[in-house]
Chain A
Amino acid sequence: MNKLPLLFTGILIVFGTAWLGLVAYPVSNLGHLQPLDDEDTAGYFPPSVSGLAVAGQKVYASAGCVYCHTQQVRLDPTSTDIAKKLGVRQTVPRDYIREKTAFLGKRRIGQDLSNVGTRFKEANALHQYLYEPATVTPWGKMPSYRYLYKLTKIVSQPSADAIQGLKGPHAPPAGYEVIPTEDAKALVAYLLSLNKNYPLPESPEPTAK
C-alpha cells in the first residue's frame, strides 16, 4: 500500500468490477430492447406514444414530478404493489423504452404513476387536478401547478380548451376562464399515455391467490 501506481491499479480493478456489472452490463444487455409484436392487434408493446406525450416528458422532468412520484410496480409477492392495484404486473426494463429518462423515483410522497393513464379517463380531469389538487384531494400534499395555466378573459365565446369544473380559491371569476399552456397539454398527454397494462412475456400477471 506504499506505491501509488499499485494503489491506483487496485482501486481501478475493484471499482471497475462494479462499473462492469452495474453500468456496462445494463448498457449492453438492456440498452437495445425492441418493442414486441402483438399478434392480435398487429400493434407493438409497449405501444408508441404521441409527439405531444414525448414533449410532456420534458415538462415532467422540468417540474421535478419524480421527487414525489415513482413509476415502478414492484415484484410480487415481496411487495404488495400489485395487490394494491398500482398495476396488473411488475414493470420491467422494456416498459421504459419509449422514455428519454426513466423516472423510477425514490419516494412515494404522492401516488405511483406507472399506470396513471388508466385512472384518469380524460384530459379535463387531470387539468383540474394539476390546477387545484387541494379541491380534489384535500388530504394530499401536491402543490398546485397553476403556473402551467393562463387565466384569460372570455372574449365573445368560451374557449374549447378551457378547464371545466374548477371550484377552488383560484377558480376563474365570472367572465374569465383557465386555459392550459402548451406545456400543460403536453404534460397531460404524457400522463394519459402512462399505461402498462399491455402484456409482456417477461412479466406475466401473477395468478390470483
Chain B
Amino acid sequence: MNQPSHSSHHEDTEVRTLSNEARAAIDASTRGPVILFLGSSIFWLVIGTFLKLLADWQLTIPTLLDCTALFTYGRIEPAQNNILLYGWASTAAFGAGLWVTARLSRVPLLHKKLLTSAGIIWNLGVLLGTVGILIGDGNSIPGLDFPGYASPILLIAYVLIASWIIITLRQRQPGALFASQWFIFAGFLSFPWLYATANILLVWHPVQASAQGPIASWFLENITNLWLAPVAIGTGFYVVPKLVSRPISSPSLSVLGFWTLILFGSWTGIGSLMGGPVPAWMMGAGVAASIMAIIPVLSIAINLHLTLRGKYSAMSWSPALRFTVFGLYGFFFSGVLATLFALPSFNAVIQFSDVVAGASLLSLYGFVSMTFFGAIYYIVPRLIDAEWPCVKLIRWHFWFALSGLVLSVSALFLGGLLQGFAQFDVASTFRSSIEFVSPFRFLAAISSVLLLLANLSFAFSFVLMLLKTGKSESGPALLNEPTENSLETLAV
C-alpha cells in the first residue's frame, strides 16, 4: 500500500492541508447523520425490493394476494417505486452527498442534532407516504404517488438537509471547487425545485389536467437526471480517483459533462409523451434533447475510462471501486439506450412496452444504486472504526446484484420488444402482445429474487458492520489479493 505522499490526487490541496487529525475530526462530525441516512436508506432498500418482488410476481400470477385492496398490484407497484426513489436512493444520496461535501470542503458539520432530526423527519415522511399509497390515498402520478399530506413533510425535511450542503460549501476552506462538488450542489438545488413544482401543480393545487402531462413527465425524468444522477456521479468522481490514486483525467470533460447534463437532461422527459396530448414543438424539443443527451453520457464515460486506464485491475479486489465503476458504466449504458429509444420510429414501437420498465430499472438499479453501493462500501469503514466483516457477503451482494440486473434488464428488453411489435403491428391482437411478453416477465420475476438476495446480503453486511464485528487491525475487506500497490492507505 502506498503512502498518500506518493499519490497525485486531484485533491492535492486536501492532502497537503488536511492532517489526519483534521480529517478524523470531519469524519467524526459527519458520523451520526451519515450513518443515520445510509442505515435508513438500506432499510428502505430491503423493504422496496421485497415489494418489487411481490409486484413482479403479481404480473406473472395475477391472482397473487388479490383478495385485499392493500396488496393490489396498483398499490404495490407505486409503493415499491416510491420507496426505492425516496426511501432508498434519495436517502443514500443525502448520506453520500453530505459526506463527500464535508470531506472536499474540509470543514466539519455543525449543528448535527438539527440535521439528525431532519433525517428522522424525512424517514417518517417516507413511511407516511408509503402507508398512504397502500391504504389508497396515492395520487397515481408515477414517481409522485405520496399523498398530499406526506409530501410537505418530505419537502420540509429536504430543505433542512440541503441547507447543510449549502452551508458546508459556503464555509469551505479556500480553494477550487471540485467536479464532485458541482455535481452534488446541482443535484441538491434541483430536488426542491422539482419536488415543490410538481407537488404544487399536480397534487396540492392541481392545474387543469390538460396541462399536467408535460409537467409530470418533466418531473419523473428529472428526478433521475437532475437529482439522483448528479449526486451519484459526484460521489463516483470522488471515490474512483481516491481508490486508483489518480485525479479525474480531464477537467474540461468534467465541465462539458456537467453543463450538458443539466441542459439536455432537463428537457428529455417529454420523450415519453411522444404522439400524446402535448404540443408538437415539445415532442421535437424532447427528441432533440434526448439525442443531444449522448454528449454528457459520453463525456462522463470517457473521462471515467481515462481516469481508470491501466487501473481496472483494482476492481478485482476493491469492493467500493467495483460497485462504483459498474454503476458509472450503468449510467453510460442507460444513457446510450435512452438516446436510442428516443428515436421516433423506434419509440413508437416500445413506448408502452416492458422496455420502459427495463430502462428505468437499468437507470435506478444499474446506475444509481450500484454507484451508491460503492460509495457506502467506501464511506462506512471511514466513519466507524471497523472493516467490512465478511468478504463472502460482499461477494454475494455483487454477484446477485449483477446477475439479477443483467437477467431482468435483458428479459424486460427482449420481452418488451416482442410486446412492442405486437402492440404496433396492426394485424396483431392485444392478446398476442401479452402472450409474447409473459415468459420474459417470469424471468424478470425470478431475477427480482436475485436482487432481493443481493440487497439482503448487503443489509446483513451493514448490520454486522455496525456491530463492529470486523477488526480494523486485520486491514480492509478485499475481494481478492491486490496485485499492485494502488490501494490508498486506510487513513485517507
Q: Which residues of A contact B (CB under 8 A)?
A: 1-2, 4, 7-8, 10-12, 14-15, 17-19, 21-23, 25-27, 29-33, 60-68, 70, 72, 74-75, 78-81, 83-84, 90-109, 111, 133-134, 137, 139-147
Contacts and interface: CB of A to CB of B under 8 A. Distances in A.
A68 B267 contact: no
Which of B59, B66, B74, B138 gathers the greatest number of chain A CB atoms within 10 Å?
B74
A21 B210 contact: no
A8 B166 CA distance: 10
Nearest to A138: B431
Nearest to A109: B59
B170 A4 contact: yes
28 contacts: A15-B189, A15-B190, A15-B262, A19-B193, A22-B214, A29-B211, A30-B210, A63-B75, A65-B74, A65-B140, A66-B142, A67-B140, A68-B74, A72-B277, A74-B275, A74-B351, A79-B275, A95-B210, A101-B141, A101-B209, A106-B142, A107-B352, A108-B353, A108-B423, A134-B62, A143-B73, A144-B62, A144-B63
B357 interface: yes
Contacts of A105: 352
B344 A93 contact: no
Interface string B185-197: 1100110010001
B430 interface: yes
Given A67-B74, A74-B276, A78-B348, A8 B189 contact: yes
Given A4-B170, A26-B211, A62-B137, A101 B202 contact: yes
A104 B217 CA distance: 10
A146 B423 CA distance: 29
A78 B270 contact: no
Contacts of B177: 1-2, 4, 7
Given A23-B215, A80-B426, A102-B212, A63 B207 contact: no
B124 interface: no
Contacts of A26: 207, 211-215, 278
Contacts of A31: 207-208, 210-211
Interface in B402-439: 423-426, 430-431, 433-435, 438
B211 A80 contact: no
Given A11-B186, A14-B259, A147 B141 contact: no
A106 B356 contact: yes
B423 A102 contact: no
In order of increasing CB-CB distance, the 3 nearest A-B pairs are A64-B74, A74-B275, A18-B266
Contacts of A104: 213, 216, 273, 276-277
Contacts of A90: 275, 277
B212 A101 contact: yes
A147 B68 contact: yes
A94 B353 contact: no
Contacts of B7: none
- How many chain B residues sit at the interface, stated as a range, is 35 or more
Interface in B138-190: 138-142, 169-170, 176-177, 182, 185-186, 189-190
Contacts of B4: none
B78 A64 contact: yes
Majority secondary structure, A binding face: loop
Contacts of A97: 208-210
Interface in B324-361: 344-345, 348, 351-354, 356-357
A14 B263 contact: yes
B426 A22 contact: no
Contact of A21 (B185, B272, B282, B357): B282
Contacts of B207: 26-27, 31
A7 B179 CA distance: 12
A204 B83 CA distance: 42
A78 B169 CA distance: 49
Given A2-B177, A23-B215, A96 B209 contact: yes
A60 B138 CA distance: 10
A23 B201 contact: yes
B275 A27 contact: no
Nearest to B197: A23
Nearest to A81: B275
Nearest to A112: B352
B218 A23 contact: yes
Which of A18, A62, A68, A103 gathers the greatest number of chain B CB atoms within 10 Å?
A18
Contacts of A78: 274-275, 344-345, 348
B424 to A, nearest CB: 6
A116 B186 CA distance: 44
A143 B275 contact: no
B285 interface: yes
Given A64-B77, A84-B426, 19 more contacts: A11-B186, A21-B267, A26-B211, A26-B214, A61-B140, A62-B140, A63-B75, A64-B75, A64-B138, A65-B140, A78-B275, A93-B210, A93-B211, A100-B206, A103-B140, A104-B276, A108-B352, A133-B62, A141-B438
B357 A107 contact: yes
B190 A134 contact: no
B255 interface: yes
A159 B226 CA distance: 56
B201 A80 contact: no
Contact of A66 (B59, B136, B140, B438): B140
Contacts of B430: 111
Contacts of A12: 189
B276 A72 contact: yes
A144 B47 CA distance: 25
Contacts of A143: 58, 62-63, 66, 72-73
B193 A15 contact: yes
Contacts of B351: 74, 79
Contacts of A25: 214
Contacts of B137: 62
